[in-house]
């Protein structure tokens, strides 16, 4: 019997669906594996994310593309066990990732795997910088009585901000505070330390000395890439110059030695010539003369 139109929609709502509630601390990984329930080889799968009550395509795989990930690499789905299973992986889940998802494959089109992701706790603080300021942002399950403390690595406190209870009905899960740098704080390692009232836990993010604030990220690496070849060329040039200087000094020494030897030889020849032309009696010993 073929079901179509409104009857199909009603049928989908009446069929009991497999549901899984997953509760994770911010930053933890999630891995869920589903099978087709038969020995069939799966050929396709789709992950949908609900926006309110409406599901929207999120990721899909097929015979050509056996794995697929979101652009930031957080969500991935792929075939497993000889294409008889589908594995959903969520890397470092955050509060933005929580919600309702539906995972379809060839054998559960009418009964998808429903996944509810609930995120708790506190994420790692994120630091950004400008010329005169550091900004700390962190996602938490509840901002009430949470605190951002600016301190150095010796835990000397420079600024403390406690967040009061939210007076509006809007759900706020992000803490944010900006720290203005001074001459003193530019010379130390500044840390953003966040205390979450829910479990009294604390997470911290430190950066390099703020005296480097204002530089474009990666500039130091680029400068090193440029400076290193220059230093190598300079070192080679110095080595060549020293070698040439050494060769010239050796050559000059050899020439001086040859000149000295040459002059010594001429002097000896001259003395020999004088001896050859001298009278015989001058060459005789005084005791040989009568």
Same-domain check for residues 96 and 150? no
Task: Mark which of 184, 212, 240 sits at the end of a domain.
Answer: 212
Cα separation of the two ends of the chain: 160
Rounded distance between C-alpha atoms, residue 87 and residue 80, angstroms:
7
In a domain, 208, yes or no: yes
Name the residue with higher pLDDT: 40 or 66.
66
Both tokens of 225, joined, read 């890439």
| Cα dihedral 190, 184, 210, 178 in deg (nearest 10) | 70
Query: For 141-190, what is each residue's pLDDT tens digit?
Result: 878 888 999 999 888 999 999 888 766 655 667 889 999 999 888 888 89
In a domain, 41, yes or no: yes
In a domain, 89, yes or no: yes
Q: Give the containing element (helix H, strand E) for 194.
A: strand 190-196
Task: Mark which of 189, 212, 235 sits at the end of a domain.
Answer: 212
Same-domain check for residues 116 and 130? no
- Can you give the residue range of the structural domain that contains 22? 11-120
Whether 63 contacts 89, CB under 8 Å: no
Name the residue with higher pLDDT: 69 or 52.
69
Whether 193 contacts 122, CB under 8 Å: no
In a domain, 270, yes or no: no
In a domain, 52, yes or no: yes
In a domain, 130, yes or no: yes
Task: Mark which of 157, 177, 212 sits at the end of a domain.
Answer: 212
Same-domain check for residues 139 and 186? yes
Rounded distance between C-alpha atoms, residue 76 and residue 89, angstroms:
5
Same-domain check for residues 50 and 34? yes
Look at residues 16, 17, 79, 77 and name the one whose alpha carbon lies nearest to residue 47.
77
Name the residue with higher pLDDT: 91 or 105.
91
Q: Give the containing element (helix H, strand E) for 257.
A: helix 219-276
Output Rg (C-alpha) for the chain, integer angstroms: 42
| Cα dihedral 209, 213, 215, 216 in deg (nearest 10) | 100
In a domain, 156, yes or no: yes
Query: For 92-106, what is each residue's pLDDT tens digit?
Result: 999 999 999 999 988
Same-domain check for residues 136 and 81? no
DSSP class per residue in 108-153 = -TTSPEEEEEEEESBPPPEEEE-SSEEEEEEEBS--TT-EEEEEET
Domains of the chain: total: 2
pTM for the predicted model, two decimal places = 0.60
CATH number at residue 138: 2.60.40.10
In a domain, 276, yes or no: no
């Amino acid at each position: 019997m073929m079901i179509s139109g409104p009857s199909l929609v009603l049928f989908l709502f009446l069929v009991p669906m497999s549901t899984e509630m997953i509760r994770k601390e911010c930053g933890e990984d999630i891995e869920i594996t589903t099978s087709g329930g038969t020995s069939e080889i799966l050929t396709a799968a789709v992950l949908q994310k609900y926006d309110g009550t409406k599901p929207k395509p999120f990721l899909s795989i097929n015979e050509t593309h056996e794995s697929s990930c979101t652009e930031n690499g957080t969500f991935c789905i792929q075939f497993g066990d000889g294409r008889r299973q589908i594995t959903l992986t969520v890397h470092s889940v955050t509060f933005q990732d929580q919600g309702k998802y539906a995972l379809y494959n060839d054998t559960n089109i009418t009964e998808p795997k429903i996944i509810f992701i609930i995120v708790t706790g506190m994420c790692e603080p994120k630091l950004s910088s400008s010329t005169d300021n550091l900004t700390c942002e962190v996602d938490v399950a509840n901002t009430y009585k949470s605190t951002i403390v600016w301190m150095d690595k010796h835990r000397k406190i420079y600024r403390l901000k406690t967040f009061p209870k939210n007076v509006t009905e809007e759900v706020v899960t992000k803490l944010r505070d900006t720290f203005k740098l001074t001459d003193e704080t530019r010379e130390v390692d500044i840390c953003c330390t966040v205390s979450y009232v829910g479990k009294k836990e604390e997470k911290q993010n430190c950066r390099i000395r703020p005296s480097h604030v204002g530089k474009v990220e990666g500039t130091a690496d680029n400068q090193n890439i440029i400076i290193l070849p220059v230093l190598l060329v300079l070192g080679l040039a110095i080595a060549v110059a020293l070698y040439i200087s050494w060769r010239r000094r050796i050559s000059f020494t050899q020439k001086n030695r040859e000149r000295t030897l040459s002059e010594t030889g001429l002097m000896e020849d001259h003395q020999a010539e004088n001896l050859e032309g001298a009278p015989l009696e001058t060459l005789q010993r005084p005791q040989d003369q009568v």
